[in-house]
Amino acid sequence: MKKLIIANWKCNPKTLAEAKRLFNNVKKTKAVICPPFVYLTEFNYKFLGAQNCHWEESGPYTGEVSPKMLKDLGVKYVIIGHSERRTYFYETDETINKKLKAALGAGLIPVLCIGEKKGEDANLVVENQLSHDLNGISEKDRDKIIIAYEPVWAIGTGDFCSKNKAKEVLEFIKRKFNNKILYGGSVNSKITRDYTEAGFDGLLVGGASLDVKEFINIVKNV
């Protein structure tokens, strides 16, 4: 099966000119690219993703962008429940659940991020997050969701999760869910294959997706 690589640009690059340059250099990879909202309309690309969405279609929600709006722009994927959203923007499993339902309702493919903080029991945390985040979603819809296992302590730290540890969590999730499962957290081109060999269906790449050479190597190495 072809592996899925998703680039999460986060709040980068700082200018549209830089974003266009980066996009033009990586579009040939055909990876999913998730730029900040404001750059989405600049790219005519089949594999576009957003980094977040609101749970309502429209209305008095200053600063929010709805799944319907994203769908209308031609966006295909949306990251939901990234740990940075959970931590810095106080997103809860309850709002993440609402966002998942809204994204599915609009025909987007959600990429649900889950993972433990340092010192926490990974299996316990992911089990708890999955049961709350997926609550009330039909099995048919649930299967459309891509799950990204991203240990919070590994995100942006260079302290990636070992192949064996990641494999343990992957197998734990797979006992209950048939979904596509990605790994994310300090992925670089040297360790890419560890995760695909461990059985992950692909990778969610943050920092390294801003480095053209490195990102192209990640896509080549899976």
The Cα-based distances of 8 to 65, 167, 168, 186 in angstroms read: 17, 22, 25, 12
Name the token pair of 5. Answer: 């690589």
Q: Is 150 in the site for ligand PGA (CB under 6 A)?
A: yes
Does residue 150 have an active-site annotation? Answer: yes
Residue 93 or 150: the one with the smaller Cβ distance to ligand PGA is: 150
Nearer to ligand PGA, 186 or 192 (CB): 186
Note whether 84 and 52 are within 8 A (CB): no
Q: Which of residues 108-147 bind ligand PGA (CB under 6 A)?
A: none
Least distance in angstroms from the C-beta of 37 to ligand PGA: 17
Q: How far is 93 from 109, CA to CA, in rounded Å? A: 18
Catalytic residue (choose from 18, 84, 150, 214): 150
**Catalytic residue list contains 54:** no
Taking CB under 6 A as the binding criterion, the range among 24-32, 59-67, 179-187, 214-222 that sits at the site for ligand PGA is 179-187
The DSSP call for residue 60 is: S
- Nearest Cα residue to 160 out of 212, 216, 90, 218: 218
Residues with catalytic annotation?
Answer: 82, 150
The residues that touch ligand PGA, with contacts defined as CB under 6 A, are 8, 150, 155-156, 184-187, 204-208
